[in-house]
Amino acid sequence: MVFLDLSYNRIREIQGLETLVGLKKIYLSANRIRKMENLSTLVNLTILDVGDNKIRKIEGIETLVNLEEFHAAKNKLTKIEGLENLTNLVLVAC
């Protein structure tokens, strides 16, 4: 299982995720990230955990067709678009 866990750091910006196409799970909770973008190539993701950050907008989530869990609680999100096409999604925590 290929995963990335950078939780509980003071990361403000995350770059280069789009090149990690083999990732199955990403854990970025409890950081200071403000924006999530360039996720569209991560179609193998089953878990995306970005809870407890400062995220205002998430871009590219609509292509994550294998996503089963999406954790985004404790952010500054006002709207999340693109979840309606993710038919494998069984857990959404916002």
Q: Which domains does the chain have, with CATH numbers?
A: 1-94 (3.80.10.10)
Q: What's the Cα-to-Cα distance from 45 to each of 32, 56, 68, 76, rounded to whole Å?
A: 22, 21, 8, 23
Q: Using CA atoms, how far apart are residues 4 and 60, in angstroms rounded to an integer? A: 18
pLDDT of the residue at 61: 94
pLDDT of the residue at 2: 94
- In the chain, the amino acid numbered 56 is R
Backbone angles phi, psi at 75, to 5 degrees: -125, -170
- Record the pTM: 0.94
* pLDDT tens-digit profile, the chain (94 residues): 799 999 999 999 999 999 999 999 999 999 999 999 999 999 999 999 999 999 999 989 999 999 999 999 999 999 888 899 899 999 888 8
Q: Using CA atoms, how far apart are residues 34 and 69, in angstroms rounded to an integer? A: 20
Q: Using CA atoms, how far apart are residues 22 and 45, in angstroms rounded to an integer? A: 8
